[in-house]
Amino acid sequence: FRKLPSERTALVYDERMKEHYNMWDSQHPELPQRISCIYAQHESQQLTEHCLRIPVRSATEEELQMCHSLKYIQTIKSTVDMKARDLHRQSDEYISIYISPKTYDCALLATGSTFNVVEAILTGKAQNGVAIVRPPGHHAEKNMACG
């Protein structure tokens, strides 16, 4: 039998991921406050005290290419320096997606941090994990974002 880790749940969270926000629609359901509310609930239930805090990190482009095409990655990366009107135009290319100047950086943090949680589980440092991250990417496809 494998010995269970003393801290069973790996947890990653970073406020910087709230820098991905909708510049045009403050009522969009995917709000920056989503992750701070989730984390606050974990704190109020004293769950964070029992978790192994995992460091955040940015994913590499090679890691992104495990799921996404290089062309799509480069498209999102190109938004970092876009003006608001161009970000809006780019956002309209996708379904229920918005892109802000920090979206690419936040996506790198979310992905790299999630990889860190998975690594903690696979290496036996934790039994399970929670990644409180954004932007969400669970509907994304190889060549496009999808909300």
pLDDT in tens, 40-63: 999 999 999 999 999 999 999 999
The pLDDT of residue 2 is 67
CB 131 within 8 A of CB 53: no
The residues of the chain scoring below 50 in pLDDT are none
The pLDDT of residue 136 is 83
Count CA atoms within 13 Å of residue 66 on its CB side.
8
Q: What positions carry a catalytic annotation?
A: 139
